[in-house]
Structure 1
Amino acid sequence: MKIGAKIKEQRNKMGLSLRDLAGKVDLTASFLSQIERDQASPSIDSLRKISQALNVPVFYFLLEQEGPSAVVRKDQRRQLTLPDANITYQLLTPNVERKMGVILAELNPHDGEVPLVHYQHTEECIFVIEGKLDITLGNKVHHLEEGDTVYFDGPMLQRLQAQGNKMVKYLSIMTPPIF
């Protein structure tokens, strides 16, 4: 199923009109209609806003859903690269429609911040596998190194940034999955 069809299906499940969704995501109803008919492509930022408004993770729109398998093989991980942020996400859980999601993220150094979308009802735990990561929760910056872990409510997250000249690799476990 294509992105547009998935957006329309989820919008209809929630009983939202195009105009209702447009008001929630700051896009026009006509542009959303074009997206749903696959005549236009949303930006990653727009897709994040749409996913938040429709209460599904971004991966829901980008990946084909598979059956209820419990195993994700290393060579079969689903991957999403955000070119603007120079970050790559690998989905480690088999289905994004479950209660928890696990993502392996690789962030290159000196590429700025990871673009964030704030979700009201999420919890997340980040485990740094490799490199150094600065994470801002509220107004406090935490400097994490290899082996460090941080646990927080989603709305507290303000900023994620690689430090030093080495790639940062971290594991993100969240509930519900938002990406």
Structure 2
Amino acid sequence: MEDILVNLGKQLKRIRVNKNLSLKQVAEMSDVSIGLISKIENFRTTPSLPVLLKIMQSLEIDLSELNLTSNNTAPYILIRKGEGTIEDREDSVGLEYTFLFSDNISESNLRTYIVNVKKDVYREPISTDAKEIIYVIQGKLNYIINDEVIVLEAGDTLFFDGSIPHAVQNIYNETASMLKMYMIQKYPY
């Protein structure tokens, strides 16, 4: 299932790419940082209305051109084996994000992924507007939070505030797989 925010991020990225615009170009035209645009496109944050409007103006699109509806009509979410969607993440080379589902939960939006971290990968520290939960399914990897290296192995669970800069590293002999959930705080409008 895709919620409205995931759908919005995908649409903005698709339009930007179809217009052959880089993140830098859109950032310069909209006066919004490259990092914030990337976070919006990669579902790591929710844009404020003024920021969304600036990006839309730089892309020369109207609100009516965007699909702002949710496609979930069932009272439950079922994801069968292999049904996830692999997402292209420009800021996470060597990591494969498979989108499983997203749903609204009380004051937060929940997004869930399976992330495969290949051997010899290091992703630079980033921050998100979410509380994050990681469950290691297989393998071993390092999660770095504020310069502290936490070694995670299959069966370990890590919960943390994603606004704290964090990185992931796999220096071990095999690809590690983890279930990763983001609980993004909704902003009152």
Bin of the TM-score, shorter chain as denominator length: 0.5 to 0.7
Change in 2 beyond 3 A, CA 1:107/1:130? same
C-alpha contact 2:27 2:37 (8 A) present in aligned 1: no
C-alpha contact 1:135 1:157 (8 A) present in aligned 2: no
CA offset at residue 97 of structure 1?
Answer: 6.3
Distance 2:27 2:37 in 1: 16
Q: Could you list the per-position Cα deviations for residues 24-79 of structure 1 after superposition, in whole angstroms to 9, with x for gaps in the alignment?
A: 224xxxxxxxxxxxxxxxxxx78524444726xxxxx9xx9633342222232222
Change in 2 beyond 3 A, CA 1:168/1:48? same
Q: Compute the TM-score of the two structures, normalised by the length of structure 2.
A: 0.59
Aligned residues: 140
Distance 1:5 1:165 in 2: 34
CA offset at residue 157 of structure 1?
Answer: 3.6
The equivalences for 1:53-68 within 5 A come to 54=47, 66-68=71-73
C-alpha contact 1:125 1:152 (8 A) present in aligned 2: yes
Matched, 1:164 2:169: no
The residue identity in structure 1 corresponding to 2:173 is N
Match of 2:117 among 84, 107, 125: 107
Q: Which deviates more, 123-132 or 70-79?
A: 70-79
Distance 1:155 1:6 in 2: 27
| Ranges of 4+ aligned residues in structure 1 off by more than 3 Å | 4-8, 18-21, 49-53, 81-84, 95-98
CA offset at residue 22 of structure 1?
Answer: 2.2
Q: Could you list the per-position Cα deviations for residues 127-152 of structure 1 after superposition, in whole angstroms to 9, with x for gaps in the alignment?
A: 11111110111121111111111111
Distance 2:176 2:115 in 1: 8
Distance 2:13 2:167 in 1: 32
Q: Which 5+ residue runs of structure 1 have no aligned equivalent?
A: 9-17, 27-44, 56-60
Distance 1:76 1:65 in 2: 18
Q: Compute the TM-score of the two structures, normalised by the length of structure 1.
A: 0.62
C-alpha contact 2:123 2:168 (8 A) present in aligned 1: yes
Which secondary structure state, in structure 2, belongs to the residue aligned with residue 74 of structure 1? Answer: coil
C-alpha contact 1:25 1:50 (8 A) present in aligned 2: no
Q: Percent identity?
A: 19
Q: Which 5+ residue runs of structure 2 have no aligned equivalent?
A: 1-6, 17-25, 49-65
Change in 2 beyond 3 A, CA 1:4/1:138? closer
Distance 2:152 2:141 in 1: 5
